[in-house]
Amino acid sequence: MNIICCIKQVPDTADLKIDPETNVVIRSGVESIVNPFDLVTVEASLSLKDTYGPTVTVISIGPQQAEQVLKSLLRLRTVL
């Protein structure tokens, strides 16, 4: 069995700023994090891996910083 988790980067809401004229999120200078709901999916997939042994693959698209987000998920396994 193979499990594929699609993750998305979202702006960290702790640093979220809105342009008052356009009501659009200002992303410059705001750190991107893994969507918290996607993180739950990754955690559940890793739990299934421990029980049943499937391969877990995490994918994402985005700018160069997406690679850093994926690497942070590799480190996550040592925490869970």
Res. 70 pLDDT band, cuts 50 70 90: confident
CA distance 44 to 4: 12
Tell the residue number behind the tokens 């969507």, with chain if given. 35
21 Cβ contact list (under 8 Å, min separation 6):
none
Q: DSSP letter for 75, please.
A: H
Q: Give 7-44 pLDDT, tens digit per residue.
A: 998 888 888 889 999 999 888 888 888 899 999 999 99
pTM above 0.85, yes or no: no
Query: Range of 18's domain?
Result: 2-79
Structurally, the chain folds into a number of domains equal to: 1
Q: Which two structure tokens, joined as six digits, stand for 24?
A: 């659009």
